[in-house]
Amino acid sequence: MQDFRRLRVWQRSHELAVDIYRSSSSFPKHEAFGLTSQIRRAGASIPTNIAEGAGRSGSAEFMRFLHIAMGSACELEYQLLLAKDLGYIESADHQRLEAHAIDVKQMLSALQKKVTDAGSHRQHAAGVREDSFQWDVE
């Protein structure tokens, strides 16, 4: 079990979620149960799944939650485009939020690779328990 707060990808995705909540506060009232809700859920799902995966035992479970977080990041990326095209966010805000989402996706991908590589390495190392590996990524 890892402290998810120490993972840089969790920190960046948490910042993104906060930014999404703030940016979507000006969406039209009629979108409260539509795009506003969807974009907020997708934004919050990324750090939520990283945190849940970090709390699980073993790399296979952690990877499953990292994959879910990646799916949420892709979903968020589309929803940001939709919000821009509907005129709910300005182009400059869209560019900033999209760049942040892409950064998080790249960090998730790097962490997935690190977890996969560590799992391959562990299979060859005798006496190393799967739950003893540290997932902290710089």
Q: What is the pLDDT of residue 64?
A: 96
- Contact between residue 94 and residue 84 where contact means Cβ atoms under 8 Å apart: yes
The pTM of this model reads: 0.86
pLDDT category at 125 given cuts 50, 70, 90 is very low
The answer to whether position 127 is within a domain reads no
Q: Domain count for the chain, please give it.
A: 1
Q: Could you read off the pLDDT of 63-87 as tens digits, one per residue? A: 999 999 999 999 999 999 999 999 9
Q: Is the dihedral of CA 3, 21, 32, 67 positive or negative?
A: negative
What is the reported pLDDT for 12? 98
| Strand, coil or helix: 7 | coil
Q: Grade residue 37 by pLDDT with cuts at 50, 70 and 90.
A: very high
In a domain, 63, yes or no: yes
Q: Mean per-residue pLDDT for 19-31?
A: 97
Q: Provide the CATH number for the domain around residue 66.
A: 1.20.1440.60
Residue 104 belongs to a domain: yes
In a domain, 137, yes or no: no
